[in-house]
């Protein structure tokens, strides 16, 4: 028996995402921007730390 050949009957197409309110999407954008800048700070600190480490050797 091969299951892959035909789609399973109970599989429904995914429901469309509900439209987000402007407030919710703004909050998500804000959180995304904050996480991006936090990543940048962490990478910058790591670069500085590795530069100092190399300078000490």
The pLDDT tens digits of the residues spanning 29-46 come to: 888 888 888 888 889 999
CA distance 33 to 26: 10
Rounded to 5°, the CA angle 54-38-18 comes to 150
* H runs (alpha helix) in the chain: 22-56
**pLDDT tops 60 at residue 1:** no
The CA-atom distances, in angstroms, between 2 and each of 9, 12, 13, 23, 42 are 14, 20, 22, 48, 50
Q: Give the pLDDT score at 15.
A: 65
């Amino acid at each position: 028996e091969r299951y892959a050949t035909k789609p399973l009957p109970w599989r429904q197409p995914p429901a469309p995402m509900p439209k987000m309110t402007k407030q919710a999407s703004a909050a998500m954008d804000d959180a995304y921007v904050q996480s991006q800048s936090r990543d940048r700070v962490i990478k910058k600190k790591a670069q500085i730390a590795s530069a100092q480490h190399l300078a000490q050797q």
